[in-house]
Structure 1
Amino acid sequence: MTIPPLTWDIAYYLFCAVIAIQVFYYLFFFRRLAFYTAPQRSLSIEHPVSVIVCARDEAHNLVKTLPGILVQDYKTSFEVVLVNDNSTDDTKYLVDEFMKSFKNINYIPLTQEAKMISGKKFPLSMGIRSAKYEIVLLTDADCVPASEFWIQQLQDSYDEQVEIVLGYGAYHKKPGLLNKLIRFETFHTALQYLSYALAGKPYMGVGRNLSYKKDVFLRNKGFSSINQIPSGDDDLFINQVANATNTAICIDPASHTLSEPKTTWNDWMSQKYRHYTTSKYYKGAHKRWLGLYSLTLFFIYPLLAVTLFSPYWWMALAVYGIRFIIQAIVLFKGMKKLNEADLWPWFLFMDIWMFFYYMFTLPAIWKAPRKNWN
């Protein structure tokens, strides 16, 4: 069977268009994070900070993570607002023991479920409204700061204009392919939201490591506009309130948080499904930017496979090589910035794997969000 030359032409030109768009994203957006240098400040002001942790049946995590928060090396006042959301385990007794040694725990026990407000938003709202200080720093019960300077690093990113600081929530490095896939996907997501913020187009943050001013929350009536959506207390809220002038990033390795990654494919996919169900509610411009990038990434390797059988195969390889070199440099620099450099030798494999990842996660866009937040 002879394939018409026009078919090869279309496939090759489509491939070139996809590569051109990908190169644009790497050079316009992602290089910003890869070559980012934190601004030098002539004057550093330490602000009192309220760290917010919401927990539901998380005693097994809190016993490991709370000490890392409570012993932060921070000269100015800070409190840990711990919201116990109807836990049925030993959370209360564990907190009682911690409070004997640490006087800066602000314990908020919730004993009733909020009507018409699903997910994590109600306990988080209660925690933020109960915070004593203007700067709030959010993390999860299963997250531990990567260093004792976590609070110091995050709060140092504030100035007169900045109201939101986006951090990086990493996962512990463990043996096995699944761990590398989880960490690469986490890095890949951070590469996007941190780079977009540097480009003046912030669209999300992650609740594992996120800070903003209490006034931002109160001024925008909290989560009232997204209360009907089970998830989104981090990404959707930031999507609504962040802009080019009020958002900064903090990526110093001392400012990271670390979480335990999922250990099975099904558990991880369930987690990602829950996260992706909120993306349909992003602002239109953000959905278009993110959608175009994902769409072109999805089609790179199918189109490359087709053009390799065409008369243009050598030109297709040359075009692909341009993206490969740019991608290798940007990812190498970006992974070093986020302390994920051990993933770089795997980046080509991971790049091909993203095609299958999108096949697995695409249905989440049309699914209804789950109502639990744990």
Structure 2
Amino acid sequence: MLIIIFIITLSYVLLIGSFVIGFDKVPVLQLKDAVVTTKFSIVIPFRNEAENLPQLLKSIAQLEYPMPLFEILFVDDESTDNSVAIISDFVRQFKFVNISVVKNKRITNSPKKDAITKAIDLAKYDWIVTTDADCELPVYWLDVFDHAIRTTDAKMLVAPVTFNLANSFFERFQLLDILSLQGATIGGFGVGKPFLCNGANLAYTKDIFRSLNGFDGNTDIASGDDIFMLEKAVKRDQSAVLYVKHDQAIVTTTSQPNFKALKSQRVRWAAKTTHYKNAFGKLTGFLVLLMNSLLVCLPLLWLLQVISLKTLAYAFTVKCLIDFLLLFKSARFFGQERYLSSYFFSSLFYPFFNVYIAFTSLFKGYRWKDRAFMK
């Protein structure tokens, strides 16, 4: 048993350790004053987002990018609240001639992929940027993308996402979780194994979307408009995929209000992992689940006197330390170090949460935006 514990723990340390090293290998984008030239079509699918749209629209109004160089396509996915009216009022008030609202057309089992596909068909410009209706955009968001496009040969840009508020322990738990995912995202790029991204802050050319046949091959899966597109792009030409490491590119979003909503979100995320084609992504998911499962089982093994308390403490401490190294780097980049004070207590709960979500996703569907989706 001790040998098994040692092998699992060592494998996990080597994996997360590689992300820690890889994190610093991704250079911070150095912006320089220059005339922006790239034209963007920003795609924002939404369904019943009346509560979140005002903050998103406020951040859109504050974008410093020249208005003639971008358009925004809101895609309404059968909203039953006053989301459309909120957008229409905003357009009239600020006289945004480059914002339009279109109706989604359901074709597949994935409403969001259908919405993005329709928007791309209508988009005027070659560069597509996707974000979500519950996000807030940084002032120089598009300027950073423009610089990355003009100074590299990238055809896909993966950019950072975090939560904007973390007042309660429940919110800080979610924040630390997403910071760890962002750390793994950046670290994966640093070791030359990109495997994660977030559709709340993603950009790619219309040409690459079409050359990869869009979302063909995974339209039966409700989520994954981001990860599966990344997998295809990396397989086609990894050198054309760039991580945009800059604090002015950070998009913020909201955490879930209660455990039921969090469970639904995480099950939705986890449900697509069995469909990953990226071998490194699969290995990472497996090792993370294996390590967390080990920590869930170790207290029971100690109670049964199969292992000593020292073994349990060593395994937990080693995992906490290597996780903290990656989390610290991520929190420092996002300017959210103050929330690390909740790390210890979060680390006690996380293994149980991770295992619970993983096994729930294997056997159950989930609800999202008042719709039921099967596994």
1:201 to 190, 193, 197: 193
User: Residue 120 of structure 1: which of 105, 112, 120 is its match?
Assistant: 112
Residue 5 of structure 1 aligns with which residue?
none
The unaligned stretches of length 5 or more in structure 2 are: 371-375
Residue 224 of structure 1 is matched in structure 2 by 216
Note the alpha carbon deviations across 1:27-51, whole angstroms, 9 max, x for none: 2123322564325478967312221
Which AA in structure 1 matches 2:7?
A
Are 1:134 and 2:134 counterparts? no
Alignment of 1:66-215 (within 5 A): 66-75=57-66, 77-100=69-92, 101-110=94-103, 113-145=105-137, 147-158=138-149, 159-215=151-207
CA gap of 1:367–1:236, structure 2 versus 1, over 3 A, is farther
Given candidates 332, 337, 343, the residue that maps to 1:347 is 343
Is structure 2 residue 237 aligned with structure 1 residue 246? no
Residue 56 (structure 1) aligned with residue 47 (structure 2): yes
Alpha carbons 2:22, 2:189 under 8 Å: kept = no
Shift of 1:148: 0.7
Match of 1:264 in 2: 258
* Aligned: 1:37 with 2:27: yes
Deviation at 1:123, TM superposition (A): 1.3
CA distance in 2, matches of 1:232, 1:210: 12
For the 8 Å contact 1:70–1:80, the answer to whether it is kept is: no
* Corresponding residue number in structure 1 for 2:286: 291
DSSP 3-state at the match of 1:225: coil
SS in 2 for 1:212: strand
C-alpha separation in 2, matches of 1:252 and 1:305? 44
TM-score by length of 2: 0.85
Paired letter, 1:149: Y
**TM superposition shift of 1:126:** 1.3
Q: 1:186 to 1:330 in 2, by over 3 A?
A: closer
Q: Check whether the contact 1:137–1:210 (CA below 8 A) recurs between aligned residues.
A: yes
Paired AA for residue 343 in structure 2: F
Tell me how far apart the structure 1 counterparts of residues 315 and 350 of structure 2 sit (CA, whole Å): 20
d(CA) in 1 for partners of 2:79, 2:188: 37
> How far has the Cα of 1:312 moved from its partner?
7.2
| C-alpha contact (below 8 Å) 2:180/2:330 kept by paired residues | no
Aligned partner of residue 245 in structure 1, secondary structure: helix
Distance change >3 Å, CA 64–CA 322, structure 1 → 2: closer
Mapped partners of 1:229, 1:176: distance in 2: 33
Change (3 A) 1:179 1:317: closer
Moved more, 196-205 or 303-312: 303-312
Mark the CA change 1:36 to 1:353 in structure 2 (over 3 Å): closer, same or farther: farther
The two structures, once aligned, show a CA RMSD in angstroms of 3.0
Pairing partner for 1:332 from 328, 335, 338: 328
Greater displacement, 31-40 / 339-348? 31-40
1:359 and 2:361 aligned: no
Residue in structure 1 matching 2:18, options 22, 28, 41: 28
**2:164·2:254 contact (CA, 8 Å) conserved in 1?**
yes
| CA distance in 2 between partners of 1:83 and 1:120 (Å) | 9
Say whether the 8 Å CA contact 2:48–2:369 is kept in structure 1. no
Identity %: 19
Structure 1: runs of 5 or more not aligned: 1-9
